């Protein structure tokens, strides 16, 4: 059995996968991709690995997967015997899926703002920041409700893959010129997340917010 992650250190999406692999104490091999400036993810060789030209990609014992959210579910489903990271009970499964889709969808506006500010991507930065703020408002409202219920995580009483999927681009928002000032529940949740055992930071994640 060998797990290989096609990885780029500055990618928040790759970071999602690294976080879960570390939480589960799984050994894995890393194949670094020169995302920027090399655009290796758009090279012919890489398009054979993922025709969408996106990272991360996971190779796991003959199974090749793209999409960070799909990879999180695969790893949790296969390796987390406790079932804690991907709960299957009817009360939680659907909600975890819903927030996973949110992480891969609406929340990616924060990633776009970061690509613009850090790597000079030409895109509508005002729209990206506006959409990221709208997504943070929704997640902050949800986490405020959870706090009122006495909960700390996005779904249920324990962290799940939904928390892992939502964490990177929320925490990296500052890289794209988006502050956390208006989101107190997000800040509480990020603090709790950073305290999880075996949590590893990545470049750009503020330790002081």
Partner 1 sequence: MAVTTDQVVLNEWVACGWHGQVPMGQSYDTVIFGQEICVSRKGAEEYEVAVIEENGATGRTLPVQVRYTCIFTTLGNPTRPLPVIAEFDEDDRRIIGCGSVGVRTSPYRIIENFLDMAHFSFVHTNVLGAPDQTEVLAYKTEHRKDVDEIWALDCKFYQPAASTASAGGQMTDYVYRVMSPFSVMLYKNVFGDPARNDAICLFVQPMAETECLAYMPMALVDEISTPEGIIDFQQGIFLQDRIILENQRPTLLPLDPTIELPTRADASSIAFRRWLKAMNLQFGIYEKQAA
Q: How far is the CB of 22 from partner 1 (least distance, A)?
A: 15
Check: CB of residue 4 under 8 Å from CB of residue 59.
yes
Of 20, 33, 86, 154, the residue at the interface with partner 1 (CB under 8 A) is 33
**Per-residue binding letters, 153-172, with partner 1 (x by CB under 8 A):** --------------------
The span from the CA of 64 to the CA of 43, in Å, is 18
Candidates 29-37, 58-66, 131-139, 187-195 — which segment interacts with partner 1 by CB under 8 A? 29-37
Q: How far is the CB of 153 from partner 1 (least distance, A)?
A: 25
Nearer of residues 67 and 175 to partner 1, judged by Cβ: 175
32 binds partner 1 (CB under 8 A): yes
Q: Which helix (H) or strand (E) holds 94?
A: helix 93-104
179 binds partner 1 (CB under 8 A): no
**161-171 vs 68-79: helix crossing angle, rounded to 10:** 140
- Closest C-alpha among 34, 135, 136, 23 to residue 72: 23
**CA torsion, ordered 13, 14, 16, 19, to nearest 10 deg:** -160
**93-104 vs 125-148: helix crossing angle, rounded to 10:** 160
62 binds partner 1 (CB under 8 A): no
The span from the CA of 23 to the CA of 72, in Å, is 12
125 binds partner 1 (CB under 8 A): no
Q: How far is the CB of 32 from partner 1 (least distance, A)?
A: 4
Q: How far is the CB of 7 from partner 1 (least distance, A)?
A: 8
10 binds partner 1 (CB under 8 A): yes
Q: How far is the CB of 172 from partner 1 (least distance, A)?
A: 9
Q: Which helix (H) or strand (E) holds 106?
A: none
- Binding residues for partner 1, rule: CB under 8 A, are 8-10, 32-34, 36-38, 40, 117-120, 174-175, 177, 202-204, 206
């Amino acid at each position: 059995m060998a797990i290989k992650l096609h990885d780029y250190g500055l990618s928040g999406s790759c970071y999602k996968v690294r976080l879960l692999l570390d939480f589960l104490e799984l050994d894995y091999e890393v194949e670094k991709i020169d995302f920027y400036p090399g655009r290796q993810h758009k090279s012919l060789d890489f398009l054979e690995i993922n025709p969408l030209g996106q990272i991360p990609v996971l190779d796991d014992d003959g199974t090749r997967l793209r999409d960070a959210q799909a990879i999180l579910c695969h790893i949790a489903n296969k390796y987390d015997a406790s079932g804690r990271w991907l709960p299957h009970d009817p009360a939680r499964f659907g909600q975890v899926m819903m927030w996973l889709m949110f992480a891969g969808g609406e929340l990616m506006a924060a990633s776009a703002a970061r690509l613009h500010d850090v790597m000079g991507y030409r895109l509508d930065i005002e729209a990206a920041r506006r959409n990221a703020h709208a997504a943070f408002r929704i997640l902050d409202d949800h986490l405020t409700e959870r706090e009122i219920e006495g909960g700390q995580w996005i779904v249920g009483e324990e962290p799940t893959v939904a928390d892992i999927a939502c964490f990177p681009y929320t925490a990296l928002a500052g890289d794209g010129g988006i502050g956390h000032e208006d989101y107190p529940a997000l800040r509480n949740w990020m603090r709790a997340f950073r305290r999880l055992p075996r949590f590893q930071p990545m470049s750009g994640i503020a330790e002081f917010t």
